[in-house]
Homo-oligomer: A and B are copies of this chain.
Amino acid sequence: MTDRVVPAADRQRRRPTKQGVVLSAELIVETALRLIEEHGADALSVRRLGRALGADPSSLYRYFRHTDDLMLAIADELIGRTLRVWRPTGDWRADLRDLGLRMHTGALAHPRAAMLSAHRVTGRVHEIQAVESMIGVLRRAGFPDPEAVRIYHAFVDQALAFGALDSAVTALPRAAQQAEAEVWRDTYARLPADTHPNIAATARHLVASMRTSSYPAALDLLLTAAQTRLDHIRAQTEG
């Protein structure tokens, strides 16, 4: 077999499956996303997806080389949805903050998909658009090219990494999730001051903080550091 996949653009023979469904890459991706959200990340298998579509599992290999290919298509679709609602204003720091928060909440809206795709490079249209936009924001802000790339890399990976981490938490079974919250209240908050002075002194803040994601804080720290760097660069070029 050389390659059973035909590029989406070249497809024309829209032949329905036995159950009357007309397949397409888009339909497959949509169905996969629905499957993941409704029945969990483990619900995504070629066979189950085929069943959900009303098609033989092997038919999907006419559209995607292998499951990994499909994962990338799903990831790109998610990127596209996030980017589509982002409206940059020209204020680099506010724009990046907005985008970061959107990426994070976007991931949390599809936790299982986010967990499976956060670490993938798709090289597809939506991702390319996103990269172009982000680097553009940084360069227009005045960051020299190497610095812009460095900060872009850290920024995007941090958004994806926290998105996946926080998604993993929400994907935990209800019981396990509640149990983890209780560990902070019942274990950490009760440690005696003589053996664990620092935890005891900050217990109240710990319990409060650990209930929520630290991503907004981490994002602000990253942007603050970038701002510092930018001020430094501007001072140098002026002086």
Contacts and interface: CB of A to CB of B under 8 A. Distances in A.
Given A118-B165, A119-B168, A121-B210, 17 more contacts: A68-B176, A119-B169, A122-B183, A131-B206, A132-B197, A135-B206, A145-B205, A149-B206, A153-B209, A154-B214, A157-B214, A158-B214, A218-B222, A222-B225, A225-B225, A225-B228, A228-B228
Interface residues of A, number: 63
A185 B60 CA distance: 29
**How often does this chain occur in the complex, in copies?**
2
Nearest to A196: B132
Contact of A225 (B123, B166, B206, B221): B221
A230 interface: no
A83 interface: no
Contacts of A131: 188, 199, 206
25 contacts: A119-B166, A119-B172, A121-B184, A122-B183, A123-B188, A128-B188, A128-B196, A128-B199, A131-B188, A132-B196, A136-B197, A145-B202, A148-B205, A149-B206, A150-B205, A150-B209, A153-B210, A154-B218, A161-B161, A161-B162, A164-B168, A220-B225, A221-B226, A224-B228, A228-B228
A180 interface: yes
